[in-house]
Amino acid sequence: MDLSKIARLQIEADMRRGFSEELLTDAERIAQLTRDTVGLIGEVGEFSNLLKKADLTLRIEGYDGVTIESASSELREELADAMIYIIRLASALGSDLESDLLNKMSKNDERYRHLEK
């Protein structure tokens, strides 16, 4: 399934759950972007905290925490949560996330071509 279809499915699910896709004023758009940015940062924070604990388990003898292997499923879930917020942010900006991502990858190819081996 392509990214554009996944994004459409998420936005349709959001609309069924009462989230409006129609942001008619700048104030509505900024409010939605703010809420979704806070949500995104929260999910990235959850990912980071779990990764920190796996790192401590690896580095500190006797630290009783998760391993990267035992945490991988939850880490992937936190990334998926973050992606949902990214989709919502892109939608609020009228973005075709798949196209924007491919365009940015192309720019990065040009910018970092000198590093290729």
Ordered per-residue pLDDT tens for the chain, 117 residues: 899 999 999 999 999 998 877 888 999 999 999 999 999 999 999 999 999 999 999 999 999 999 999 999 999 999 999 999 999 999 999 999 999 999 999 999 999 999 999
Question: What amino acid is encoded at 71 in this protein?
Answer: A
Mark residue 18 as left, alpha or beta (left: phi above 0; alpha: psi -120 to 50; beta: remaining): left
pLDDT of residue 24: 87
pLDDT of residue 21: 74
User: What tokens were used for 45?
Assistant: 């924070």
Q: What is the pLDDT of residues 22-33, one digit of tens each?
A: 888 999 999 999
Q: Where are the alpha helices (DSSP H) in 17-64?
A: 26-59
pLDDT of residue 16: 94
Q: Is 6 exposed, middle or buried (0-12, 13-18, 19+ CB in 10 A)?
A: middle
Domains of the chain, earliest start first: 3-17+24-115 (1.10.287.1080)
Q: What's the pTM value of the predicted model, to 2 decimals? A: 0.90
User: What tokens were used for 85?
Assistant: 């917020």
In 3-state terms the chain splits into helix, strand, coil percentages (rounded to 5) of: 80, 0, 20
pLDDT of residue 3: 94
